[in-house]
């Protein structure tokens, strides 16, 4: 690979990753905002759960709709549309005065975010050579950890003194800079070379479930559901869980900030391993680590134990996310790549709806955290089983 291509790859990663980081800032700040809004508006655990779930409902709709659209009008166009939707709705949510309006705007934020993530990973996957494809997509995902880290810093230093509204505005504004950066981003060369799309939307959806791709689609849908169900159930509730375990808001935010730091080495180790050990190995190994860490975190009682197992949870879970985003676009040909990846992500977001609601419901009923996190542990092991049985290795294979 020549120097020009290297620079091009770095530029692609920088532009796509910067926007990915701003997206993560918004999702990350939401976990802290839920804890603060619950106090401000006197919300019940069930109502708090609906905030995270409404975000996921929007993501489910956005992942499906924008994924299909990206196979019709191009990756870059959808990349721009989703970021504008996400940025505007996120900024406006800071000015709401009641739960109803806040939920509507969180749906729109989720729609933009849910549409953008699978399309961004598809664009990067199609724009780099086979021997670097997995590593590049995982590195793209690593910007998510940077966004979460910034969100945790904003929450720690701004929410206690200035309130959650200022924190939301601070996280929404930088996304408009990402819109400016994206203007000169070229579309996927693989998509451009494929010519005008020949199939209708209905035909694309049928093709995703055709005999040739049904096994891959089944595997992806189940894995995405279990991963997103457990991630949003656990991570959107992390600050609230810490507060329910007896820590005050500032202590809780500080602990979650430290846990978030472990996401970065999780991504970087996954990026290093994915072109060496393969997609199936990295995805299944990191998911097993996630499941065991979740179980240990649920049973932890002291601050050091919570911090240790929370950090391990962040390390393994976000490394698994990177592998999943690298693996998903590789399952389908160009004509249905964004559709297939978007549909899988959409099914996953349905899991993201139930995860936060389940935690809110069980907490309200007095169910202990060992049981709650044990449920997430079991769900993740189902995902591991499906990857090992139904998954096919796609390491360094040319895209179809």
105-122 tens-digit pLDDT: 999 999 998 888 888 888
Instruction: Tell me the CA distances in angstroms from 30 to 148, 167, 173, 176, one per residue in order.
Output: 10, 10, 15, 19
pLDDT of residue 398: 65
Q: 51 is in which domain, residue-wise? A: 3-184+197-390
Note the pTM of the prediction, 2 decimals.
0.82
pLDDT of residue 396: 67
Q: Decide if 399 is inside a domain.
A: no
What CATH number is attached to the domain comprising 44?
1.20.1250.20
pLDDT of residue 251: 82
Half-sphere exposure at residue 60, Cβ-oriented, CA atoms within 13 angstroms: 19
Q: Decide if 395 is inside a domain.
A: no
pLDDT of residue 1: 39
pLDDT of residue 5: 40
Q: Nearest to residue 236, comparing CAs of 361, 55, 367, 107? A: 55
Report the SS3 class of residue 112.
Answer: helix
Q: Are 119 and 340 a contacting pair, CB within 8 Å?
A: no
pLDDT of residue 4: 34
Q: Are 50 and 354 a contacting pair, CB within 8 Å?
A: no
Q: Are 348 and 188 a contacting pair, CB within 8 Å?
A: no
Cα separation, 393 vs 271, in Å, equals: 16
pLDDT of residue 180: 75
Q: Decide if 59 is inside a domain.
A: yes
Q: Decide if 190 is inside a domain.
A: no
Helix or strand run (H / E) with residue 225: helix 214-235
3-state SS record for 154-183: HHHHHHHHHCHHHHHHHHHHHHHHHHHHHC
pLDDT of residue 2: 38
Q: Decide if 360 is inside a domain.
A: yes
pLDDT of residue 397: 66
pLDDT of residue 239: 80
CB atoms within 10 A of CB 386: 19
- When divided into structural domains, the chain yields a total of 1
Q: Decide if 191 is inside a domain.
A: no
Q: Decide if 308 is inside a domain.
A: yes
- pLDDT tens over the chain, length 400 residues: 333 343 477 888 888 888 788 878 887 888 888 888 988 999 888 888 888 788 888 988 998 999 888 888 888 888 888 888 888 898 899 999 889 999 999 999 999 988 888 888 888 888 888 788 888 888 888 888 888 888 888 888 898 889 999 999 888 887 777 777 777 777 778 887 876 566 777 888 899 999 999 999 999 999 999 999 999 888 878 888 888 888 887 788 888 888 888 988 998 999 899 988 999 999 999 999 999 999 999 998 888 898 999 999 999 999 999 899 889 989 999 888 888 988 998 999 888 888 888 988 898 898 989 999 999 999 999 999 999 999 888 876 666 6
Q: Nearest to residue 25, comparing CAs of 219, 161, 168? A: 168
Q: Are 23 and 116 a contacting pair, CB within 8 Å?
A: yes
Q: Decide if 400 is inside a domain.
A: no
Q: What are phi and psi of 397, to 5 degrees?
A: -80, 145
């Amino acid at each position: 690979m020549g120097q020009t291509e290297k620079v091009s790859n770095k530029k692609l990663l920088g532009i796509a990753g910067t926007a990915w980081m701003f997206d993560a800032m918004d999702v990350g700040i939401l976990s802290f905002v839920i804890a603060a809004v619950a106090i401000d508006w006197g919300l019940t655990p069930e109502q708090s759960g609906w905030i995270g779930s409404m975000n996921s409902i929007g993501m489910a709709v956005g992942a499906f709709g924008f994924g299909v659209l990206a196979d019709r009008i191009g990756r870059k166009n959808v990349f721009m549309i989703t970021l504008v939707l996400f940025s505007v709705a996120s900024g406006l949510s800071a000015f709401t005065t009641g739960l109803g309006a806040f939920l509507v705007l969180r749906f729109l934020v989720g729609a933009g975010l849910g549409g953008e993530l699978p399309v961004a990973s598809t664009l990067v996957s199609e724009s780099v050579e086979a021997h670097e494809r997995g590593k590049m997509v995982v590195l793209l995902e690593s910007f998510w950890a940077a966004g979460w880290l910034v969100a945790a810093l904003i929450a720690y230093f701004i929410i206690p003194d200035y309130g959650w509204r200022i924190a939301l505005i601070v996280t929404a504004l930088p996304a408009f800079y990402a819109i400016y950066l994206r203007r000169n981003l070229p579309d996927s060369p693989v998509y451009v070379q494929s010519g005008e799309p020949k199939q209708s939307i209905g035909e694309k959806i049928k093709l995703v479930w055709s005999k040739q791709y049904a096994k891959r689609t089944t595997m992806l849908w189940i894995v995405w559901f279990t991963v997103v169900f457990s991630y949003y159930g656990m991570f959107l509730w992390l600050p609230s869980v810490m507060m329910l375990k007896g820590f005050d808001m500032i202590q809780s935010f500080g602990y979650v900030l430290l846990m978030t730091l472990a996401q970065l080495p999780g991504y970087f180790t996954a990026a290093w391993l994915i072109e060496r050990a393969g997609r199936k190995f990295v995805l299944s190994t990191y998911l097993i680590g996630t499941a065991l860490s979740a179980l240990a975190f649920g049973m932890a009682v002291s601050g050091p134990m919570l911090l240790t197992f929370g950090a391990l949870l962040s390390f393994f879970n976000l490394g698994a996310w990177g592998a999943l985003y690298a693996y998903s676009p590789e399952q389908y040909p160009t004509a249905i790549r964004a559709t297939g990846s978007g549909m899988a992500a959409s099914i996953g977001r349905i899991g993201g709806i139930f995860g936060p609601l389940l935690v809110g419901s069980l907490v309200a009923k007095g169910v202990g955290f060992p049981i709650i996190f044990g449920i997430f542990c079991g769900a993740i092991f189902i995902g591991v089983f499906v990857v090992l049985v139904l998954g096919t290795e796609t390491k360094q294979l040319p895209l179809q």
